Structure 1
Amino acid sequence: MATDNIEHVSIKALAWDIAADIYYPPGFDNTHKYPTIISAHPIGSCKEQTSGNVYGSALAQEGFVVIAFDASFQGASGGEPRFIEDPTLRVQDFSYVIDYLVTQPYVDDNRIGVLGICGAGGYSVNATMTERRISALATVTGANYGRLMHESFTGYDPIGALEAMAAQRTAEARGAELRVDDLLPASPQEARDKGLTEIDLLGATEYYRTDRGRKPNGRNRSLFSHQATAVGWDAFNRVEVLLTQPLCIVVGDKPGAFGAYRDGVELYRRAASKDKELVVAEGWSHYDLYDQPEPVAIALSHLIPFYKKHL
């Protein structure tokens, strides 16, 4: 495989910059118009992990320009305070990235697609419904973060969690130290020692907390006081009417606590898209699809023809 041709760029958002890596295809010529894919990272991740170094790189080799970006308030992107995980802001990031792309001479603005991985799968669904500059959407082990926050991520007590978030935000407004939660154990061994062996939680720890996937900006941290919006948010609200673009959904068939299999099947059933495909990678789990060669190859064997057809 050819060496990646990557450019680091800054994209103007509301009052800060979004950091992004552009992966160019072999033989790139900026006088030519290219189909372009926006690749969005999982919750707690960064552009140097699966969205960029795995899927971004592979899709660029197939002739696409791919842009992998860090969410606002995370990674190398700007925004204060740090580690905000707010679905409305994550969804808006896509439009800022598109605003940048449509000013580039090599981007065909009629052939812009999106790839959302894990939590960005849900964000990309929500963005695509109202961002009509997106021509095709694919998700890999996509999860509805709003559902998770309404359910297991708040201990199935959303009202209690909201009350705690409100109290913490008031305290911080009055000068208290910010509460930034680490979302994962420090190592796979610590997870096992604590009995945290559920397939998705242990898989996340094995990916993010070892050399397998660890990157400096893949911090898996969240500002507790700013999580309330997510508790009342739903990535799939109105997909029956508004999600009409071609859709490819890739999930593993080993379900875990983060619910990507459940969400993928629900999205496939509900989406208004007339051209939609559900790909089930048999024998693989959520985090296998991040970087393991065989399940990634299964995903790409569907993603590449999907994008070539619709972009």
Structure 2
Amino acid sequence: MPTENIERVSIKALAWDIAADIHYPPGFDPGHKYTTIITAHPTGSCKEQTSGEIYAPALAREGFVAVAFDASFQGDSGGEPRLIEDPAFRVQDFSWVIDYLVTQPWVDENRIGVLAICGSGGYAVSATMTERRIKALGTVTGANVGRRMREGFTEYDPLGALEAMATQRTAEARGAEGQVNDLLPPSPEAARQAGLTDVDLVEATEYYKTDRGRKPHGLTSFLFSRQATLVGWDAFDRAEVLLTQPLCIVVGDRPGAFGAYRDAYELYGRAASSDKELVVLEGVSHYELYDKPEPVRQALDHLVPFFKKHL
């Protein structure tokens, strides 16, 4: 039996290992077949934050096995250079984790689901379209990061950003230092001094840059030269045809700059899933769904029955 019902494992990926924490339910019996849910962290986050600190333990308490992993090139996972946020790798990470799970005797391969938060919500949508071993998908304040890259993350100048990325990548190929950009101010005070008022930007800083959510690997940063693919990517492309698995979308009704509210409605409208649910929580913001007890409880009140029904 794993100590305290959590086991750290290394999962073989393309040419490196993915680090994951497996959260086992109370009374775990390795001779029994379990429903297993992969929990995926937000953009710039890590498994020790909301995906593995809040949602994975909650799912384990409900009898699921929950697997929280670090994206390739991030957190405790391998891959160089660091801090790459590339959708091709982020999407494939789910398949590497599933490859590991289907070799475990306690996993029911027909009952594997995904619960993805914020930016990983978009990656999980894309993965679920082609990774048919994912049998049900839940998203919590899921966001289409490709759209963000064409909008606010590039100051609405995606072509100018692409030119700058190309220049920077050439410089790095010739020996220059990598350019790492933090998406957030270094502190809530810095956010106030910068005049930030958007609910997502303010609350993101409160979460990631204070003891509330700060973790060593929760860096909220990208390697600038490796973001070009993300600029041209869209999380929902072909959802009308390929996204057929059961789908539960949870979002708050206080929209902000990261666009999860808009994305939730778009995804619900576009998904081909015959069984889909859009849950809009009243008075709840994006980052309250990361760790605030009452919004998290409301989200799980929908997600847990959803997974139990479909898995």
| TM-score over 0.5 (shorter chain) | yes
Distance (whole Å) between structure 2 residues aligned to residue 150 and residue 8 of structure 1: 36
- SS of the residue corresponding to residue 163 of structure 2 reads helix
Partner of 1:261: 261
Distance (whole Å) between structure 2 residues aligned to residue 196 and residue 226 of structure 1: 27
- SS of the residue corresponding to residue 235 of structure 1 reads coil
The percentage of aligned residue pairs carrying the same residue is 77
Q: What is the correspondence of 1:28-43 to structure 2 with a 5 Å cutoff? A: 28-43=28-43
Partner of 2:77: 77
Instruction: State yes or no: 1:297 paired with 2:297.
Output: yes
* 1:136-194 per-position Cα deviation (integer Å, ceiling 9, x unaligned): 00000000001111111111111100000000000000001110111211111111011
Distance (whole Å) between structure 2 residues aligned to residue 198 and residue 278 of structure 1: 24
- Measure how far apart 1:197 and its partner are: 2.3
- Measure how far apart 1:221 and its partner are: 1.2
Q: What is the correspondence of 1:160-175 to structure 2 with a 5 Å cutoff? A: 160-175=160-175
Partner of 2:245: 245
Distance (whole Å) between structure 2 residues aligned to residue 45 and residue 295 of structure 1: 20
Partner of 1:93: 93
Q: What residue identity is the alignment partner of 1:63?
A: G
Partner of 2:200: 200
* 1:258-277 per-position Cα deviation (integer Å, ceiling 9, x unaligned): 00000000000110000000
- Measure how far apart 1:89 and its partner are: 0.6
- SS of the residue corresponding to residue 290 of structure 1 reads helix
* 1:210-237 per-position Cα deviation (integer Å, ceiling 9, x unaligned): 1111111111111000000000000000
- SS of the residue corresponding to residue 278 of structure 1 reads strand
- SS of the residue corresponding to residue 58 of structure 2 reads helix
Moved more, 64-73 or 185-194: 185-194
- Measure how far apart 1:4 and its partner are: 5.2
In the alignment, structure 2 segments of 5+ residues that lack a partner are none
Partner of 1:157: 157
The ranges of structure 1 where at least 4 consecutive aligned residues each deviate by more than 6 angstroms after the TM superposition are: none
Partner of 1:310: 310
- SS of the residue corresponding to residue 306 of structure 2 reads helix
Q: What is the correspondence of 1:53-202 to structure 2 with a 5 Å cutoff? A: 53-202=53-202
Distance (whole Å) between structure 2 residues aligned to residue 165 and residue 217 of structure 1: 24
- Measure how far apart 1:196 and its partner are: 1.7
Distance 1:310 1:234, change over 3 A: same
Distance (whole Å) between structure 2 residues aligned to residue 7 and residue 48 of structure 1: 13
* 1:13-70 per-position Cα deviation (integer Å, ceiling 9, x unaligned): 0000000000000000000000000000000000011001100000000000000000
Quick check: 1:4–1:57 contact (8 Å CA) kept in 2? no
Distance (whole Å) between structure 2 residues aligned to residue 240 and residue 261 of structure 1: 19
In the alignment, structure 1 segments of 5+ residues that lack a partner are none
Distance (whole Å) between structure 2 residues aligned to residue 162 and residue 275 of structure 1: 39
